[in-house]
Each structure stands twice: as C-alpha cells, then as structure tokens.
DNA sequence: TTGTGTTTTACGACCTCC
DNA sequence: GGAGGTCGTAAAACACAA
C-alpha cells in the first residue's frame, strides 16, 4: 500500500465518521510533475477514490454539498470580508471541519457568484434607466410633433390673414394712403397699422404687442 | 420515472503581487 | 517562486415539469 492509498483510506474513514461535515477530498497526484499544459480536462477526482463501502456506492467518494450550518458560517464570514487570508481560512476550516482548500474554493465560488449578481444588478439598473430615457424621448418627440402642427397652423393663419389684407387694400380706391383705423374696417386686424407704402410689403403689418408676445412664446419652442 | 435546466463544488490554467 | 486571485468549465446534486 503506497502513501496515496493510505491517504485515501484515511479520508474515507474521516468522511464516514463525519458524513455531514466532511466532504472527502481527492487525493492529490503527489510527485507527478505538471503536464505541459494539456488544456482540458481531468476526470472527476471527487468521484474517484476508495473502495470498500456498504452503501452500494462501491465506496466511491461523492461530491457532497456542505451542510446548511457550514454554509451559514461561511456566508457570515464572507459578509465580513470577501477576501480570505490564510489565517482566517485555516481557522474557518478547523471550526467547520473542512479542508482549508474547500474553504478557499468556497470563497472563490462565492466571489464569482457575488460578482455575477452585481453585474446582473447593474444591468437591470441600466436597463431601467434606458427604458425611462426611451419613454422620455417618445414624449418629447410627440411634443415636437404637436408644436410643429401648431406652428404650421399659425403660419397658415398668418398667410390667410395676409391674403385678406392684401385683398382689402387692392380693392380700396385710396389704397395708397389708407390708414386702417382701429376695428373700423375689419375686426381681424384691430389696431394693427398698415404700412403707408404698399410696396414695402407687410413688414409693418403686425406691430401689435400681442403678436410680439406670440412670437416670443413660439421662439421658446424653436 | 426521466429528461432537462440550474446550482454547487471542485479544479486547471493563467495572472498578479510580494 | 509561491500564494492567492480570476476565469472557464466539468460533474455531482438538486429542482421540477411532463
């Protein structure tokens, strides 16, 4: 019987003594030099091991879940500190009846799960933010559309009124010197002054302070 | 019962730090 | 160079629908 077999039997013995707390370890391939990096992959070492067993499992070690209590203690320790210094590892291992290697592996896996969870949370948060931005963009797009419609209507109204004024002036026999007085000829223009010179177009048509306010209002949305 | 998907345990390869 | 980290993955354990 070589050393490896002795170790295997010891492990089996311990695992039978403490079935709930001890997860049998795989015997390391002591003395074997590291192979020149054959990428992938071992046979499951946790399964392979000793013989002699009465439970029908042919005495093979099986990968065993850690007990609830062990996991609880490990979780508590992980809460304290995600990194695992060697002293703490050894202390935890002896307290929980585990191999230090198991404690180290548990922490490695726990860190990986923690990282995944964090990434998942960040992704969810970003997704929500993105959704909100998309909704806001839709709202703004619709508002822009609405304002464009308003602008279009206003322009058409201006055009219509301008045409009406033009018509009124061209029909007047004294069009060149007419001064449209307040709400006398047309209620549409109220106090608006029409320029003295037909040739200067209608740039002086809307001097109403109200209209100026309207432009100001519209300019907020342009 | 069994097929299948998920979680947990464990490990090899590789990297970084002291 | 060794210890301890991450990453990717195998395989056992587990959950669960069909």
Distance in Å, residue A57 CA to nucleotide B13 C1': 32
Residue A37 · residue A15 · CB < 8 Å: no
Distance in Å, residue A114 CA to nucleotide C6 C1': 13
**Which nucleotide lies at the shortest CA–C1' distance from A37?**
B13
Distance in Å, residue A129 CA to nucleotide C10 C1': 38
| Angle, alpha carbons A212-A216-A217 (nearest 5°) | 115
Residues 98-157 of A with CB under 7 A from strand B: 101-102, 105-106, 108-109, 113
**Which nucleotide lies at the shortest CA–C1' distance from A115?**
C6
Q: At what angle do helices A100-171 and A209-219 cross, to 10 degrees?
A: 150
A169 CB below 7 A from strand B atoms: no
Q: Which residue gives the smallest C-alpha to C1' distance to B14? A: A37
Tokens 């198991």 label which residue?
Answer: A102
Distance in Å, residue A10 CA to nucleotide B11 C1': 22
* pTM > 0.75: yes or no: no
For every one of its 222 residues, what pLDDT tens digit does chain A have, with 9 covering 90 and above? 333 333 333 434 434 433 333 333 333 332 223 333 333 334 434 433 333 333 333 434 556 789 999 999 999 999 889 999 988 999 999 999 999 999 999 999 999 999 988 988 888 899 899 999 999 999 999 999 999 999 999 999 999 999 999 888 877 665 444 444 333 333 333 333 333 333 333 333 333 334 444 444 444 434
pLDDT of residue A62: 56
Distance CA A143, CA A124 (A): 29
Residue A186 · residue A180 · CB < 8 Å: yes
Measured to protein CB atoms, the chain B nucleotides within 7 Å are 8-14
Give me the DSSP letters along chain A.
--HHHHHHHHHHHHHHHSTTT-PPPPPP-TTPPPPS---S-PPPTTT------SSSSTT-----PPPHHHHHHHHHHHHH-SS--HHHHHHHHHHHT--HHHHHHHHHHHHHHHHHHHHHHHHHHHHHHHHHHHHHHHHHHHHHHHHHHHHHHHHHHHHHHHHHHHHHHHH-TTGGG----TTTS-TTTTTPPPPS-GGGTTTTT---HHHHHHHHHHHTT-
A32 CB below 7 A from strand C atoms: no
């Amino acid at each position: 019987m070589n050393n490896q077999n002795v170790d295997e039997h010891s492990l089996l013995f311990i695992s039978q003594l403490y079935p709930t707390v001890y997860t049998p370890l795989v015997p390391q391939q002591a003395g074997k030099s590291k192979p020149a990096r054959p990428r992938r992959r071992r046979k499951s070492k946790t399964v392979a091991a000793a013989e002699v067993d009465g439970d029908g499992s042919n005495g093979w070690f099986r990968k065993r879940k850690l007990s609830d209590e062990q996991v609880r203690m490990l979780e508590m320790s992980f809460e304290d500190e995600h990194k695992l210094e060697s002293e703490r590892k050894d202390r935890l291992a002896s307290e929980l009846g585990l191999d230090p290697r198991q404690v180290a592996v548990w922490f490695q896996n726990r860190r990986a799960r923690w990282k995944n969870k964090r990434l998942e949370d960040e992704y969810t948060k970003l997704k929500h933010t993105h959704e909100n931005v998309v909704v806001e963009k839709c709202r703004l797009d619709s508002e822009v559309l609405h304002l464009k419609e308003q602008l279009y209507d206003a322009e058409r109204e201006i055009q219509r009124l301008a045409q009406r004024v033009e018509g009124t002036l061209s029909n007047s026999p004294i069009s060149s010197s007419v001064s449209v007085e307040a709400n006398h000829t047309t209620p549409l223009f109220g106090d608006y002054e029409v320029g003295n010179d037909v040739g200067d177009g209608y740039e002086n048509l809307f001097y109403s302070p109200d209209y100026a306010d309207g432009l100001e209002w519209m300019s907020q949305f342009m």
